């Protein structure tokens, strides 16, 4: 658990500095793929850190332009949906993953279609 927390916080903190933010955003797919296992860790701090990472990536993807819906966007949506399906123990984590998902799909018909196909609505309803 401490390794997950440190790893997630490292990537979250990369979004604070401009050059690191760009570099981290550039590797969105690989970072989120590597961090998927954190979604199954039942620890409030890990859940919040993972939710924050998803929120940071959703903002970065939105800033990059949702017209470029591609692999990174799909991985971010899948990651949000997968985390929503978990029994989260922290309300802040629930809020952050919901914000990340909403940021990704707002004003993006293609994203809404991908979210529907991936079962995001059912996952969100299960969050309580």
Higher pLDDT: 15 or 126? It is 15
Cβ partners under 8 Å of residue 29, min gap 6? 71, 72, 75
- Tens-digit pLDDT profile for residues 43-52: 999 999 999 9
Are 25 and 57 spatial neighbours (Cβ–Cβ below 8 Å)?
yes
- Number of continuous H segments (helices) and E segments (strands) in the chain: 8, 0
Q: Residue range 13-32: average pLDDT?
A: 89
Cβ partners under 8 Å of residue 101, min gap 6? 58, 77, 80, 81, 84, 115, 120, 124
Cβ partners under 8 Å of residue 48, min gap 6? 90, 92, 93, 96
**d(Cα 17, Cα 19) in Å, to the nearest integer?**
6
Q: Give 5's pLDDT tier (boundaries 50, 70, 90).
A: very high
Q: Residue range 9-34: average pLDDT?
A: 90
Q: Residue range 26-37: average pLDDT?
A: 91
- Tens-digit pLDDT profile for residues 66-122: 546 678 889 999 999 999 999 999 999 999 999 999 999 988 888 899 899 999 999
Say whether pLDDT at 2 is over 80: no
CA 97, 101, 106 angle in degrees (round to 5)?
Answer: 145
The predicted pLDDT at position 68 comes to 60
């Amino acid at each position: 658990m401490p390794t997950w927390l440190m790893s997630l916080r490292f990537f979250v903190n990369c979004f604070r500095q401009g050059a690191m933010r760009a570099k981290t955003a550039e590797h969105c797919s690989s970072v989120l793929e590597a961090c998927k296992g954190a979604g199954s860790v039942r620890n409030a701090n890990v859940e919040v850190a993972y939710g924050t990472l998803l929120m940071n990536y959703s903002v970065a993807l939105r800033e990059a332009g949702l017209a470029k819906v591609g692999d990174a966007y799909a991985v971010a949506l899948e990651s949000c949906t997968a985390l929503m399906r978990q029994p989260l123990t922290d309300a802040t984590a629930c809020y952050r993953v919901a914000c990340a998902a909403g940021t990704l799909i707002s004003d993006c018909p293609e994203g809404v279609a991908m979210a529907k196909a991936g079962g995001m609505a059912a996952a969100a309803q299960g969050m309580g």
